[in-house]
Chains A and B, each alone.
Chain A
Amino acid sequence: MSERPLTRNIRPGEEPPDLAAYVAAGGTAGLRKALGGMSSAAVVAEVTASNLRGRGGAGFPTGKKWGFMPKDDDPRPRYLVANADEMEPGTFKDRLLLEGDPHQLIEGMIIAAYAIGAHAATIFLRAEYSLAARRLTRAIAEARDAGLLGADILGSGFDLDIHLHRSAGRYICGEETALLSALEGGRAIPRAKPPFPAFSGLWGNPTVVNNVETLCNVPHIIQNGAAWFRGLGIGDDAGTKIYGASGRVTRPGAWELPMGTTIRAIVEEHAGGMQDGYELRALLPGGASTDFVPAEKLDTPMDFASMERAGSRLGTGTMIILDQRTCPVAMLRNLEHFFAQESCGWCTPCRDGLPWVERILAAIEAGEGEDGDLDLLAHHVQMLGPGQTFCAHAPGAMEPLRSGLRLFHGDFRRHLDGKRCPWK
C-alpha cells in the first residue's frame, strides 16, 4: 500500500478528527517545524524543491507562485486565499479534504501564510458545501482557542487569522481573479493579467490563491522534505493526487494515489470497472473543461505531461466517463449548457458564443441540425479558444467540444443525416 498523506485521517461517513485527534495522529508537526526555526524563504524553497504543482486544474508550480510575492520591503498587507470553490462539473475531491480533515487545510494555510508573509487568510468556500462550512467553522474556532491562529502563533511571533467566506454560487468564482472580485463584494468578473495577484490581488494587495488540495500537501512537504514528496509520484510529477471517477463505473469515488497512476488503474482497480452492460467509450480526465480521451489511451499515466501528450489535461484529476449507451452529442449539449449559463457575461465571444454553441448542439441532438453546423461549431472552437476571450472560461468550454467533434464525428453525422438522435 502506497503512502496516503492527504487522506490518512479521513474516514468517510464519520466526523473528522478534532484538533486533539489531529495532533495525536501526527498533525501540526509540519507547522511546528516551519514556525520553529525555518525562515519564510526556506519554506518557499522547500516547496519549490518539492515540485508541488497546483491541484486546482492549471498545475502551476506552487513554490514559483509564492516566489512571485514582492520583496519584504513592500509595506502593503498580504493575503492568502484557499480556493475551495469546487464547482468544476465532475469534481468532488476537495469536498473529501474539507469535510474529512479540516485541520489539515488550516495547518497548510498557516504554513503558506507564513511563507508569503500574510497575516490574513480566507477560505473561499462554494455555497453548497454546507457540511464543510460547519466543520471548518468548528475547526477554525478550535485552532484559535489552541493558539494556532491569532497572535504570536506557537510563540513564533507570527500572527494569522483565517476567515471563512461562503460564496453565493457561480462557477467563475473559481477563476482566481474573479474570486478576488467576489471577495471585494462585486460581481465575480475576472481581471486582466498582468498584474498578477501576487503583485496586485485582493484590494490591490499582494495575494496568493491556492487550491485546497495544494495547500493540504504543504504540511507533509515541510515535515518530510521535498525529496520524500518527489518520491511519492510514479513519473515526472511529485506527490500523490486525489483522483476520482464518476459515470457508469461500479464504484464511483475518489482515491488518493501516486501521481502518475494510469487511467486504467483508476477505472479498473479503484472504480471497479464499468457496470454490467456498459462499455467505456471515452472520458473527460479532469472535469468538464478538459479534452476527451478515447478508450484506446487508457494506459496513459494521469500526470501533467502525459495527459498533455494524450491531447488533454490532468485538470482536477476527477474523470467523467462516457459509456456507449450515452449520446455524446447530448453530453456535449449538457456540458455547453453549463458553460453558457456560467459565463460571467463580461466579454462578448464568451457571453454570445457559448449560448450559440449550446443551441446548435441542441438542434443537432433534436434531429434539426443543418449541414453547416459542424463547420460552425469548429469555427466557435477557434473563436472562443485561447487568446480570443478575456479569461480561460470559454477556452475551457471548447476543450471537450474540440475533441468531441473529432472523436464523435460519425455520431454527429448520424444525427445530421438521420434527422434524429440514434440513442433515443
Chain B
Amino acid sequence: MALAAEDVEAISVLAHQSPQPRGAAIEALRLAQRRRGWVDESDLAKIAGLLAMTAAELDAVATFYNLIFRRPVGRHVLLVCDSVSCWMLGGEAVRARLEAWLGIRLGETTPDGRFTLLPIVCLGACDHAPALMVDEELHGDLDAATLDRLLERYR
C-alpha cells in the first residue's frame, strides 16, 4: 500500500519539528516501509518532496541502512543473525534449515511472496544464541526442534 494521507501528515509534522526537514528522513522511510514492506520510487519521490530533498539525496540515505528495503520483500522478513556468538553456537545450521524449509537462499524471496530471508548483524541476543527475528519478533535458543515449531506457525 502506498503512503497514506495520515503518513504524509505525520512526516510533515516530523519535518516541521526538526531543525531542518531532512532530520525526519529515517523515520519517514520507516513509515513508508511499514505500509508497503519496502520503499518504492513513488514513496521515495513523495517523501523527498516533503523533506526538501531530491529523490537521489534521499536514496543515498535509504540505501545506507541495513533495514530500509529498496526492493520488494515478502510479507514476513526473516533476519537470521550471522555474527560471532550465533555463528559459534550453530547459526549456520539455522540458516541452512531455513533455506531448506523456504526453498530459497539468503537474500531471496519465496515465489509466493510470503517470506524474505536475510542475514543480519548481531541482534544483541547472544545469551540466547542462535537467534533470529521474524518481522519485529525475536526468537532465540534455536535448534532444529524449536525452529521447526516456529516455522509450523507459518505453514
Contact = CB atoms under 8 A, between A and B. Distances in A.
Interface of A: 86-92, 94-95, 126-131, 165-171, 182-188, 203, 244, 246-248, 252-254, 284, 288, 318, 320, 322-323, 326, 331, 334-335, 337-338, 341-342, 344
Contacts of B26: 165, 167-168, 182, 185
Contact of B129 (A126, A168, A252, A284): A252
A254 B127 contact: yes
Contact of A253 (B19, B24, B61, B127): B127
A248 B87 CA distance: 11
A320 B25 contact: no
A168 B68 contact: yes
24 contacts: A87-B121, A87-B124, A90-B85, A95-B124, A127-B65, A127-B67, A129-B124, A168-B26, A168-B29, A168-B67, A169-B65, A171-B121, A184-B20, A185-B22, A186-B61, A247-B88, A247-B89, A288-B83, A288-B84, A318-B126, A320-B84, A320-B126, A335-B84, A338-B122
A252 B126 CA distance: 8
B127 A92 contact: yes
A23 B89 CA distance: 40
A182 B61 CA distance: 9
B84 A169 contact: no
Contacts of B79: 128
Interface in B57-73: 60-61, 64-68
Given A90-B126, A91-B122, A168-B29, A320 B85 contact: yes
Given A87-B122, A127-B65, A331-B88, 17 more contacts: A87-B124, A89-B121, A89-B122, A90-B85, A91-B126, A95-B125, A126-B124, A128-B124, A128-B133, A129-B124, A169-B66, A169-B121, A182-B26, A244-B127, A247-B89, A252-B128, A288-B84
B84 A183 contact: no
Contacts of A170: 64-66
A342 B127 contact: no
Nearest to B63: A187
B60 to A, nearest CB: 6
Interface of B: 18-20, 22-27, 29-30, 51, 60-61, 64-68, 79, 82-85, 87-89, 120-129, 133, 136-138
Contacts of B84: 89-90, 284, 288, 320, 331, 334-335, 338
Given A91-B126, A129-B124, A186 B85 contact: no
A127 B124 CA distance: 11
A247 B127 CA distance: 8
Contact of A246 (B82, B121, B126): B126
Contacts of A188: 64-65
A126 B89 CA distance: 23
**Residue with the greatest number of chain A CB neighbours at <10 A, chosen from B22, B25, B123, B126:** B126
Contacts of A126: 124
Contacts of B83: 89-90, 288, 334, 338
Contacts of A323: 88
A185 B126 contact: no
Contacts of B67: 127-128, 168-169
Given A170-B64, A320-B85, A334-B87, A165 B126 contact: no
A169 B63 CA distance: 11
Contacts of A128: 67, 79, 120, 123-124, 133, 138
Given A89-B85, A254-B127, A187 B122 contact: no
A258 B30 CA distance: 40
A342 B129 contact: no
Nearest to B62: A168
Contact of A326 (B82, B88, B123): B88
Nearest to A12: B127
Contacts of A318: 126
B90 to A, nearest CB: 11
Contacts of B20: 184-185, 203
A185 B85 contact: no
Contacts of B87: 331, 334
Contacts of A94: 124
Contacts of B23: 183-185, 203
A168 B66 contact: yes
Given A166-B30, A188-B64, A247-B88, A88 B24 contact: no
